[in-house]
Amino acid sequence: MKIGLGELRCVQFANLLHRALNCLQFPSRGVVGAAIYYDGSGHEIFRWDHTWVRVGDEAIDGNVDSLPENPLVPSQVRVAPYWGPTTNMPQDRRLRENHGASLPPDVDVDRIW
């Protein structure tokens, strides 16, 4: 099952975090792509369109703690937020960037910022 970006809170999270980091002089960029989640034996259990933030060689996948609240996400998906080098990404996920894609506009974020 795939869920579109319009249905995700991660878009607002990534947009606000990206803006805040840049304001604090940490060059970052919002990323659009796919998140693929795996069970403990390495079998894929879920994937969807997702957004996260990159700061150099680090990825910030921070809004995943809300996944259990989404009725479309299988209960087997149990991942913790991650902020660290992409080379140390937890084995429970892969983040695949859609190169050239940018965060979609969000009027709520624009209004708050």
In CATH, what number is assigned to the domain containing residue 17? Answer: 3.10.550.10
Model confidence, pTM: 0.86
CA distances (Å), 34 to each of 9, 63, 102, in order? Answer: 15, 14, 13
> Is it the case that residue 69 has pLDDT exceeding 90?
no
Q: Is the per-residue pLDDT at 105 higher than 90?
A: no
Query: Each residue of 22-45: pLDDT tens digit?
Result: 999 999 999 999 999 999 999 999
Contact 81, 63 (CB under 8 A): yes
**What domain count does the chain have?**
1
Q: Could you tell me if residue 106 is inside a domain?
A: no
Q: Which domain holds residue 58?
A: 5-99
